[in-house]
Chain A
């Protein structure tokens, strides 16, 4: 899951740092991700993992690091 998240961040996150080597807990916003890029990342994650982020999960913290994105995806895919 982590490698897929990194690939999506690389393609859509507009990060100043290399998404493939970024620490799991590194702040993505500090790494250059804009609000608009975070929307692109969310939509790409939804397509990749066949999930939909509900409004309740649309908060800055959910998309702030690779770890928090993974936690959110694990919640959404739980029970599959």
Chain B
């Protein structure tokens, strides 16, 4: 994720952009230091997008704010799903998520790993063997 894209969107759309994507708690933390705000927000957007990909939503509606990056006092970040997003994750068998985010210079990135119980509806695909 290019940090500059977040900075440009903040300039173009201001509060509307921030409020559509981020929760109050996310904004409170990210905006406390204006110098790194775009980097922190970009990392969080990358985390939300990674979570969406893990959840494999096809055409369900969703709110970006329903995927929140929370932060514990030690500085570690984790995902919190709210409302329908939490329901969708539970329905798909997800029991936990691991999150890693980083940002440096022009880029921010995030990796989300979902831990899922096996469901009958979506069995784990068998590995493909090639010779």
User: Taking the nearest CB of chain A, how far is it from the CB of B11, in angstroms?
Assistant: 11
A residues in contact with B45, CB < 8 Å: 36
Is A60 positioned at the interface, with any CB of B under 8 Å from its CB? yes
A59 touches B60 (CB 8 A): yes
Residue in B closest to A56 when the chains form the complex, CB atoms: B61
Which one, B12, B58, B63, contacts A40 given CB within 8 A? B12
B residues in contact with A37, CB < 8 Å: 5
Is B1 positioned at the interface, with any CB of A under 8 Å from its CB? yes
Which one, A46, A57, A58, A61, contacts B16 given CB within 8 A? A46
User: Taking the nearest CB of chain A, how far is it from the CB of B10, in angstroms?
Assistant: 11
Residue in B closest to A58 when the chains form the complex, CB atoms: B61
Instruction: Report Cα–Cα, A37/B60, bound state, in Å.
Output: 19
Say yes or no: A55-B9 contact (C-beta < 8 A), given A35-B49, A39-B17, A39-B20. no
User: Taking the nearest CB of chain A, how far is it from the CB of B43, in angstroms?
Assistant: 12
B residues in contact with A56, CB < 8 Å: 61
Instruction: Report Cα–Cα, A44/B58, bound state, in Å.
Output: 24
B21 touches A39 (CB 8 A): yes
Within 8 A of B (CB), among A29-80: 35-37, 39-40, 42-44, 46-47, 55-61
Instruction: Report Cα–Cα, A55/B62, bound state, in Å.
Output: 6
B59 touches A60 (CB 8 A): yes
Binding site for B on A (CB under 8 A): 35-37, 39-40, 42-44, 46-47, 55-61
Top 7 A-B residue pairs of the complex, sorted by shortest distance between their CB atoms: A59-B61, A61-B59, A43-B13, A55-B63, A56-B61, A35-B49, A59-B59
Binding site for A on B (CB under 8 A): 1, 5-6, 9, 12-13, 16-17, 20-21, 45, 49, 52, 57-64
Can you sample 23 A-B contacts with CB below 8 Å?
A35-B49, A36-B6, A36-B45, A36-B49, A37-B5, A39-B9, A39-B64, A40-B9, A40-B12, A40-B13, A40-B17, A43-B13, A43-B17, A44-B12, A44-B13, A55-B61, A55-B62, A59-B59, A59-B61, A59-B62, A60-B57, A60-B58, A61-B59
